[in-house]
Structure 1
Amino acid sequence: MSDGNRAGAGGDAHGDETPVALITGAASGIGAATATALADRGWRVYATDIEMPLPEELRERCTCRELDVTDAEQCERVVEEIVDETGRIDALVNNAGYAVPGPIEDVDPEDARRQFDVLVHGVGTLCRAVLPEMRAAGHGRIVNVSSVLGMSTVPGVGTYCAGKAALESLTDALRIELRDTGVDVSLVEPAWVDTGFADGARERLDGDRTDAYGDTYAALDRGWVLEGGPLAADPEAVAERIVAAATTASPRARYPVGTFAHFVRWTHILPARLQDPIQRWFGRVSITANRLYQRLGGLP
């Protein structure tokens, strides 16, 4: 029996053994790569996003649904539709997210609140929607796509880091609460990923800028704080870890993605007097590194 079928073992009211996954934020990047990877393994994938229609490649291989994770009624309705159509739901991949960059002082509180609703409350809403079905089936996987920035923050993306830190805590609590139910919960923690995330974040840098944060804005505009440059992982590498969390017999609590993610994740054990200079240093040095990288034509 393949790993994919192992995660979905148990049958359903329709007599179909095909495992079923619900993925949020599937229009591009990590979500699209994960939807494709699970479909390749024989899963029935429900690819969802607030932006519709999804790319043709996904429409050909997945069942697509519009889903705003901040709309509780829509979340419940989509989950009910999946269960009605398939009789099961084996994996939930909470991937939807975006960043509102800028120093804490300059970020509009309403923008920060909406971001938090997607990164944290949307995850909680979907978990509440799928858990009765998973618990009744005696198995299920919840995979939350977090970030190492939930453990080690960077100036200029503080509200995003705060949302990911909250997601880390929510996931840890959920994993412990669901022990012995057959439902496993994992975090996938990349650092930077080569997607449109940085471009979308920079589009939100349109508010007033406090002069005191010149260095922070320079790092956001011209450094690697948002995209990571050559340190960014491919979406497929993150999708590979998500698939592992969804299909392996004994999933881990955390799946850091890439060498740099492991490094960033463990810097949080350092005292603040050592962490803080490292974070400031990275932003400044990344400006020069990015300039040199571009002059070399983007070559490693």
Structure 2
Amino acid sequence: MAKTIFITGASKGFGRIWAEAFLKRGDRVVATARNTETLKDLVKQYGSTVLALALDVNDRAQCFAAIKKAKEHFGTIDVVINNAGYGLFGSIEETSEKEARDQIETNVFGLLWVTQAALPVMRAQGHGHIVQISSVLGMVTLPVLGLYNASKWAVEGLSETLAAEVKDFGIKVSLVEPNGFSTDWAGPSSLHTQPLDAYNKVKSDFQAGLTDDIFGIPEATTDAILKLVDSANPPLRLFLGKMALPWVTQVYSDRLATWGEWKEVAEKAHGK
């Protein structure tokens, strides 16, 4: 059965690839972007099955208005994919207040506003699936991406809580955890802080680790996303790529070992 999919950040990258995949198989797509000019070719090719809406996710009122238009246009919203976001590269010390606030505003609050707007629609329907595009960096971290890491860790906590709150309404929540992919996320779509020489080494070490083999092919994610939204019992977390799960497994194994070493100290702190 055809679904109605609401996707933020549909102008390029994962959002664009997935929007086209849904449309090709006969779903209805509400494709949102800051500039709807970037969506004109989708509308031309797929006609009435795609609704292109201008949306700046930082504007809460716009988010609610976009969801309202989508519901009025197609009558239902079965899946929301919160894909809009960007990367901020730079050390913690280098990051300005504006850069930090803007990163959290888009990656966390933008996702929150769209989620809040969609929930009443899905509760009234008695079903829905909210797919939050997080990152493997919401579970582990890399240097020089501190604010991006922080934004995705916030998305993890928010979404895991949400899943527990809305399960009785028939609403499912999934976090998608991609490793690196060859989109323009680290290119034109990213921002960079004003550099301090003190962090030259950590940045050069970071760059040295970015070998071609760790980046996946974006188009190869399509089948995984289609299976996720079609699943009657989707997972809370879905890794994308072959690097993410082994990395997280190793990091959490190391963490558990360290926590075990400090177990006695922790238990004594309980006081009784």
The 8 Å contact of residues 143 and 242 in structure 1, kept in 2 or not, is answered as no
The 8 Å contact of residues 88 and 193 in structure 2, kept in 1 or not, is answered as no
Once residues 157 and 120 of structure 1 are traced to their aligned partners in structure 2, the CA distance between those partners, rounded to angstroms, is 15
1:131 aligns with 2:119: yes
1:211 aligns with 2:211: no
The 8 Å contact of residues 135 and 152 in structure 2, kept in 1 or not, is answered as yes
**Secondary structure of the structure 1 residue equivalent to 2:36:** coil
Q: Could you list the per-position Cα deviations for residues 53-107 of structure 1 after superposition, in whole angstroms to 9, with x for gaps in the alignment?
A: 1244423333211111110111111111111112111110000110111110001
Q: Which amino acid aligns with 1:253?
A: L
Once residues 257 and 29 of structure 1 are traced to their aligned partners in structure 2, the CA distance between those partners, rounded to angstroms, is 14
> For residues 249 and 198 of structure 1, do their structure 2 counterparts lie closer, same or farther at Cα, with a shift above 3 Å needed?
same
Match of 1:9 in 2: none
Once residues 41 and 69 of structure 2 are traced to their aligned partners in structure 1, the CA distance between those partners, rounded to angstroms, is 22
Q: What is the CA distance between 1:31 and its match in structure 2?
A: 0.3
Once residues 192 and 109 of structure 2 are traced to their aligned partners in structure 1, the CA distance between those partners, rounded to angstroms, is 24
The 8 Å contact of residues 188 and 241 in structure 1, kept in 2 or not, is answered as no
> For residues 273 and 247 of structure 1, do their structure 2 counterparts lie closer, same or farther at Cα, with a shift above 3 Å needed?
closer
Once residues 158 and 82 of structure 1 are traced to their aligned partners in structure 2, the CA distance between those partners, rounded to angstroms, is 35
Match of 1:171 in 2: 159
Match of 1:286 in 2: none
Work out which of the residue numbers 86, 102, 116 in structure 2 matches 1:114: 102
1:248 aligns with 2:228: no
Pairs aligned (count): 254
Once residues 193 and 27 of structure 2 are traced to their aligned partners in structure 1, the CA distance between those partners, rounded to angstroms, is 41
The 8 Å contact of residues 142 and 246 in structure 1, kept in 2 or not, is answered as no
Once residues 274 and 88 of structure 1 are traced to their aligned partners in structure 2, the CA distance between those partners, rounded to angstroms, is 47
Q: Could you list the per-position Cα deviations for residues 128-150 of structure 1 after superposition, in whole angstroms to 9, with x for gaps in the alignment?
A: 11111111111101001111111
Q: Which amino acid aligns with 1:75?
A: C
Q: Could you list the per-position Cα deviations for residues 183-204 of structure 1 after superposition, in whole angstroms to 9, with x for gaps in the alignment?
A: 10001111101111111366x3
The 8 Å contact of residues 5 and 28 in structure 2, kept in 1 or not, is answered as yes
Work out which of the residue numbers 132, 141, 154 in structure 2 matches 1:153: 141
Match of 1:190 in 2: 178
1:269 aligns with 2:252: yes
> For residues 272 and 90 of structure 1, do their structure 2 counterparts lie closer, same or farther at Cα, with a shift above 3 Å needed?
closer
Q: CA RMSD in A?
A: 2.1
- TM value normalised by structure 2: 0.87
Identity of aligned residues (%): 34
Once residues 144 and 273 of structure 1 are traced to their aligned partners in structure 2, the CA distance between those partners, rounded to angstroms, is 27
- TM value normalised by structure 1: 0.79
**Secondary structure of the structure 2 residue equivalent to 1:105:** coil
Q: Which amino acid aligns with 1:192?
A: G
The 8 Å contact of residues 245 and 251 in structure 1, kept in 2 or not, is answered as yes
The 8 Å contact of residues 182 and 216 in structure 2, kept in 1 or not, is answered as yes
Q: Could you list the per-position Cα deviations for residues 260-287 of structure 1 after superposition, in whole angstroms to 9, with x for gaps in the alignment?
A: 1111222331446999xxxxxxxxxxxx
Once residues 250 and 107 of structure 2 are traced to their aligned partners in structure 1, the CA distance between those partners, rounded to angstroms, is 23
1:223 aligns with 2:208: yes
The 8 Å contact of residues 190 and 261 in structure 1, kept in 2 or not, is answered as yes
Q: Could you list the per-position Cα deviations for residues 200-255 of structure 1 after superposition, in whole angstroms to 9, with x for gaps in the alignment?
A: 366x3351x222211122245x4355xx6221112223333222221211111111
Once residues 188 and 51 of structure 2 are traced to their aligned partners in structure 1, the CA distance between those partners, rounded to angstroms, is 26
Work out which of the residue numbers 22, 33, 38 in structure 2 matches 1:49: 33
Give unmatched runs, 5+ long, in structure 2. Answer: 259-272
Segment of structure 1 superposing worse, 90-99 or 265-274:
265-274
Q: What is the CA distance between 1:166 and its match in structure 2?
A: 0.6
The 8 Å contact of residues 32 and 58 in structure 1, kept in 2 or not, is answered as no
Match of 1:144 in 2: 132
Once residues 227 and 209 of structure 2 are traced to their aligned partners in structure 1, the CA distance between those partners, rounded to angstroms, is 29
Give unmatched runs, 5+ long, in structure 1. Answer: 6-17, 276-300
Once residues 244 and 153 of structure 1 are traced to their aligned partners in structure 2, the CA distance between those partners, rounded to angstroms, is 28
**Secondary structure of the structure 1 residue equivalent to 2:247:** helix
**Secondary structure of the structure 1 residue equivalent to 2:175:** strand
